[in-house]
Structure 1
Amino acid sequence: MIMAAKVTFISVQVFICVTLVSGSIVTREDPLQPVWDNLSQVPSKILTEMQKILNTHSTNMKEKMASKTEVFKTVLQSVKQSKANAQSEAEADESGSHLQELMSHSLTGAFETFYKSRVKTDYDAALGNDDTIASLEETEAKLMRHLDQMLRKSDFLFDFNATIEDHVYEVMHNDERRQLTIRNIDGLLNDIRERRTPNKRDVCSPVLDNLRKFIVEDLPSEQRLEELEKDLAEKYQAVVEELPSVLHRDCSDILRLKQQPPSGVYTIYPTGDPERKVNVWCDMETKRNPESKAGWTVMLRRRNTSIGLLNFNRSWDEYAEGFGTPGEGGEWWLGLNWVHELTFHQPYELMFLLRDIDVEHFRVYYSRFIVEHESRDFRLSVEGFEGTVSDAFGSFHHGQPFTTHDRDNDNCDCNCASNNQGGWWYNKCHRTVLTASFPESNDRSMKTIRWLTPGRWLVLDDVTMMMKPVEPTLQQ
């Protein structure tokens, strides 16, 4: 409305200037008829200057618009081809559908490339090596996992589509309005040029000044168009950078997809949701045997050092969500909610690395490890023992719910977590507990971090508890 009023105001100024030149105002049915009757009296240099301004401005705009990206051009073209009186809501639906189709083709192509280069190669290799059904099922699981990640990424980008549409319609609304106004003024100047006569008094300079101000200052500028495009590009880039191409569920995914990654802190996505991520320590070196792989996700780390000595006498909520900071020299507990998400959706194995205060090292391995949902009190399921020390963990703690000082689920009249200063899968009470306090002496009868073996307790000052998906076995 404001812009239309300004155009009308300029038209009135043209009417006044040409009637001043003619010396009279003649009443007609058309209120602008005096303009048309006296167009020939507008000075030539005014017309030339006005035309020059419009030509320069039009050339600059065309050069700016020609440099836009292909995707942006496609969207603009689809909107321009719509009827001038179409409802904005219908235009938005059409433009949004077109943009979603472009995104869908892009994501589909990316997935097909991934399938041919990675998953299909793994599948063909499995067939060539006569792998068992378990190996083929593992390959299928990889495919389904990455398909789920691509679908999540697609949904995430479609949600971002609304922001893109807002920018497109704002730019198009300004651009169409600008082009229409310039065409109207350009047509008026051409009319004046065709009817003008030379050597008339220059009384219309104010009209030229107002027109110049209107074009340069009031019309939506190409600078605004560039600002919108830049803002759109920055927001899209932020989305792309935030969302990785592959959402690693655990450390074994990282080991498989990266070239010899070192042990260290990595970000994983146990649920496959890009909004739910957690930093973990990945052991990329330790192998159960020479034929197996590393890629362990460390869920518990204890070390009796000046850097360690983290307080493990924590509440139920803290054990559920996790605490401590993974890193060199530190201690931490990966939350039981994350452990459940990992172990309950595919088979996991578990390994303990233990060091006794007399500098004796031990290993314990379990071929199956599951932690149930919080509604089941994170109940433990563990089996398939191998190791250089006793099966204290599986034989006594299998099937037990988790207990903390503020939630007592053990089989003792006491609260085992309170007695041992740390949460655990207590029975009545324990044959091993790895969250208790560190030993202050060599007294093996003290309630401390320990593991029961025939004849004595191991008192521990360095513990690692880590897990990874079970590796498929091959049929010989």
Structure 2
Amino acid sequence: MVKQNMEGIKNLDANVRNLKSDLQKLVVPQKEATDNSTNIIGNKSTYSSGRIPMSGTDCADILKKYPDTRGKDGVYNIVGLSRPKAVYCDMTTENGGWMTDVTEAPGTASRHGEIQRKKAYAVYSRFAVGDETSKYKLEVNGYSGNAGDSLDYHNNMKFSTPDEDNDSDSSRSCASKYRSGWWFNSCSHTKPNGQYTDSEKTGYEFVTWKLWKNSWISLKSIKLMICPRD
């Protein structure tokens, strides 16, 4: 009886070892696949645990650290003084490294696409925003491009919101009137945060850049990109 029990224990031990071996065959390749995988969805790079996260102090810093990101526009992690923030980086325009903010209604197949296919650009050698005590005062100069210098009208203006009126118009609050935050003067020559319309219209309230065509014609989008100077 004891001999039979010992043989049973040996068989059980052998079965356990075989099962453990089979589990290792299943688990190890899965772990290797996880550690070595990079998922790219719409140029958005996500890295599995164990990989160094693709992050930096700004888009230019990411491009410097990871040269293979050149030409790969997408969402990256920006590490600041607080927690990391996901931002969209343009890694193509002017050699890449631009932190981008796009004012555009997502998911709308608008008639702008049929009517208004022209593009224009404005480049500024200096674009700086002050701290909270200055009410985030804008400093912008050194214009070049073909869109017209619509931002010059907003130079040295403080940032206004519907509940914080810092514009130069004594008769109204531009931010309240146009329901958006911006460096309003009296009121604006451009409104990247203006109202979106799915057709080509003319009006002060829309997404506009006045000095392009000298008109308040609504735009499909305005893309703001910032890149630190060397």
Query: TM-score under structure 2 normalisation?
Result: 0.68
The count of residues paired between Structure 1 and Structure 2 equals: 176
| Mapped partners of 2:215, 2:200: distance in 1 | 12
The structural deviation recorded for 1:358 is 2.0
Matching residue within 263, 286, 304 for 2:105: 304
Alignment check: 8 A CA contact 2:55 2:77 kept: no
Letter in 2 for 1:366: Y
- Aligned pair in 2 of structure 1 residues 448, 247: CA closer, same or farther (>3 Å)? closer
The equivalent of 1:294 in structure 2 is 96
The equivalent of 2:220 in structure 1 is 461
The equivalent of 1:211 in structure 2 is none
The equivalent of 1:263 in structure 2 is 73
Please state if 1:367 is matched with 2:125.
yes
Secondary structure of 1:403's counterpart equals: coil
The structural deviation recorded for 1:440 is 5.0
Alignment check: 8 A CA contact 1:356 1:460 kept: no
Matching residue within 91, 94, 108 for 1:284: 91
Matching residue within 146, 170, 180 for 1:422: 180
| Mapped partners of 1:429, 1:404: distance in 2 | 12
Matching residue within 377, 399, 405 for 2:156: 399
Q: Deviations over 1:315-368 (max 9, x none)?
A: xxxxxxxxxxxxxxxxxxxxxxxxxxxxxxxxxxxxxxxx99622101110011
The equivalent of 1:379 in structure 2 is 137
Q: Deviations over 1:283-334 (max 9, x none)?
A: 11111xxxxx211111x212234369xxxxxxxxxxxxxxxxxxxxxxxxxx
| Mapped partners of 2:140, 2:221: distance in 1 | 22
Instruction: Calculate the aligned-residue CA RMSD, in Å.
Output: 2.8
Letter in 1 for 2:102: R
The structural deviation recorded for 1:384 is 0.6
| Mapped partners of 2:200, 2:53: distance in 1 | 51
| Mapped partners of 1:381, 1:286: distance in 2 | 23
Name the one with the larger strand percent.
Answer: 2
Alignment check: 8 A CA contact 2:54 2:62 kept: no
- Aligned pair in 2 of structure 1 residues 404, 468: CA closer, same or farther (>3 Å)? same
Letter in 2 for 1:443: K
- Aligned pair in 2 of structure 1 residues 246, 363: CA closer, same or farther (>3 Å)? closer
| Mapped partners of 1:242, 1:369: distance in 2 | 38
Alignment check: 8 A CA contact 2:55 2:62 kept: no
| Mapped partners of 1:279, 1:244: distance in 2 | 16
| Mapped partners of 2:192, 2:83: distance in 1 | 28
**Unpaired stretches in structure 2, ≥5 consecutive residues:** 1-48
The structural deviation recorded for 1:256 is 1.0
Alignment check: 8 A CA contact 2:127 2:141 kept: yes
| Mapped partners of 1:306, 1:419: distance in 2 | 26
| Mapped partners of 2:131, 2:204: distance in 1 | 33
The equivalent of 2:61 in structure 1 is 253
Letter in 1 for 2:104: R
| Mapped partners of 1:283, 1:269: distance in 2 | 17
- Aligned pair in 2 of structure 1 residues 250, 403: CA closer, same or farther (>3 Å)? same
Alignment check: 8 A CA contact 1:372 1:378 kept: yes
Query: TM-score under structure 1 normalisation?
Result: 0.34
| Mapped partners of 1:455, 1:247: distance in 2 | 41
Secondary structure of 1:254's counterpart equals: helix
Q: Within 5 Å, which residues of 2 pair with 1:44-123?
A: none
Runs of 4+ aligned residues of structure 1 deviating over 6 Å after TM superposition are none
The structural deviation recorded for 1:470 is 1.4
Q: Deviations over 1:387-425 (max 9, x none)?
A: 1111011x2000000011111111112110111121100
The structural deviation recorded for 1:442 is 3.0
| Mapped partners of 2:208, 2:115: distance in 1 | 10
| Mapped partners of 1:304, 1:468: distance in 2 | 24
- Aligned pair in 2 of structure 1 residues 459, 253: CA closer, same or farther (>3 Å)? same
- Aligned pair in 2 of structure 1 residues 467, 455: CA closer, same or farther (>3 Å)? closer
Alignment check: 8 A CA contact 2:207 2:221 kept: no
The equivalent of 1:188 in structure 2 is none
| Mapped partners of 1:463, 1:301: distance in 2 | 6
Secondary structure of 2:197's counterpart equals: coil
- From the CA coordinates, give the structure whose radius of gyration is larger: 1
Name the one with the larger helix percent.
Answer: 1
Q: Percent identity?
A: 29
Letter in 1 for 2:162: H
| Mapped partners of 1:357, 1:255: distance in 2 | 36
Matching residue within 178, 203, 210 for 1:445: 203
Alignment check: 8 A CA contact 2:125 2:141 kept: yes
| Mapped partners of 1:266, 1:305: distance in 2 | 19
- Aligned pair in 2 of structure 1 residues 467, 263: CA closer, same or farther (>3 Å)? same
The structural deviation recorded for 1:277 is 1.5
Secondary structure of 2:186's counterpart equals: coil
